[in-house]
Amino acid sequence: MDIFEKCYRFSVVKDAKEAGIYPYFIPLDENEGTEVIYQGRHVIMCGSNNYLGLTTHPKVRQAAIDAIERYGTSCTGSRFLNGNMSLHEKLEAELAEWVGKEDSLVFSTGMQVNLGTISAIVGRGEIVILDKDDHASIVDGAFLSGGKIERYRHNDMEHLKRVLESLPEDQGKLLVVDGLFSMEGDIAPLPELVPLCKAYGVRLMVDDAHAMGVLGGGRGTAAHFNMTDDVDLIMSTFSKSFASLGGFIAGDFDVVDYIKHQARSLIFSASIPPSNAAAALAALEVMREEPERVERVNQIGDKMRVEYQRLGFDTGNSVTPVIPIIIGDDDLTFITWKLLFENGVFVNPIISPAVSPGRQLLRTSYMATHTDEQLERVLEIFAKVGKELGLI
């Protein structure tokens, strides 16, 4: 059989395009933060991870420009060999201080952080424990590790306890969990999770890709719960609040040094370009200087959640500026997305396997730079579309 046969028979995308409801790979002409331009018309962006609105901040933009002028566009090599720069190490020191850990290590993407860290720490004969709703990069890192994978129901601490009780005491164990879950906007219950990890000898890694810049004054989930010392490893990306591209892992010196010399996704990838490193550094500086941005994005999240619920939408368990509008059906999710987009609001349609069957949703997320006028317009459009489709 021709291995390409499955490609030729892959008709889901063709069918969606013919029906006019294909919602992915939208070619935006311009992306200026809270608004994007598509085929000449302005659309309010409510699907970005640019939580603090820093992609358009003058200081962040200028830092990237200055870095290109000074260093060029790329390091053209792995950090392990010729691609390491003092700029990278300065960023690592600043990040470690920001999250309250001894050291940090910068990777070229957030995906690579999870692939490299988990597969470096967990080996054959060891165990990695995952929340059922963990991000795909965490799951893939677990598979790459070669260790045994155990999963527990989302945020279900009783189920987690039963899983931990069933595991051998003499095997190394790492639990990896999203701090802020990216699809439904809820938070990992660290005050309940940490004692379980300690009781059963499990090390804890928290993925703060979406929590950094949002929770804990911008320092993430552990800071939000005042439990930084109780979390062994803190991971985050630069492609959200840091307005750049890349990611990092932070923890004890010895653990980070081990990852640095074992993580294949770091060793065999070109290092993060100077412009991205400089932009992340500048974004971190803005976070320190303008804490009101963190306050603003959370205020917006609270406002929009209340207003969606008042209109009659189901926002699930969200307590953050990531707010799902749960639809529960693939086709209706795509149709709702299309009508919102045509009326001037950009959101993200999410279906299985990104969410559980029956939890199909529109993922909305907000920026500190959204204006009150934009938010009111978004609510008006949601109300109009929701009534038209019988959702509310």
Q: What is the pLDDT of residue 61?
A: 97
Task: Indicate the pTM of the whole model.
Answer: 0.96
Q: What is the pLDDT of residue 355?
A: 86
> What is the C-alpha to C-alpha distance for residues 128 and 121, in angstroms, rounded to an integer?
9
Q: What is the pLDDT of residue 357?
A: 85
| Top-level class of domain 57-289 | alpha beta
In contact, 88 and 277? CB cutoff 8 Å: yes
Element at 93 (helix H, strand E):
helix 86-99
Q: What is the pLDDT of residue 352?
A: 85
> What is the C-alpha to C-alpha distance for residues 171 and 75, in angstroms, rounded to an integer?
40
243-298 pLDDT, tens digit each: 999 999 999 999 999 999 999 999 999 999 999 999 999 999 999 999 999 999 99
Q: What is the pLDDT of residue 353?
A: 85
Cis amide leading into 353 (omega within 30)? yes
- For the chain, give every residue range classified as CATH 3.40.640.10: 57-289
Superfamily of domain covering 10-45+291-388: Aspartate Aminotransferase, domain 1 (3.90.1150.10)
In contact, 247 and 260? CB cutoff 8 Å: no
44-82 pLDDT, tens digit each: 999 999 999 999 999 999 999 999 999 999 999 999 999
pLDDT under 70: residue ranges of the chain: none
Q: What is the pLDDT of residue 173?
A: 98
CB atoms closer than 10 angstroms to residue 148? 17
Q: What is the pLDDT of residue 31?
A: 85
- For the chain, give every residue range classified as CATH 3.90.1150.10: 10-45+291-388
Q: Encode 325-347: b = buried (16+ Cβ within 10 Å), e = exposed.
A: bbbeeeeebbbbbbbbbebbbbb
Q: What is the pLDDT of residue 312?
A: 97
Q: What is the DSSP string of 212-259?
A: TTTSGGGT-HHHHTT-GGG-SEEEEESSSTTSSS-EEEEE-HHHHHHH
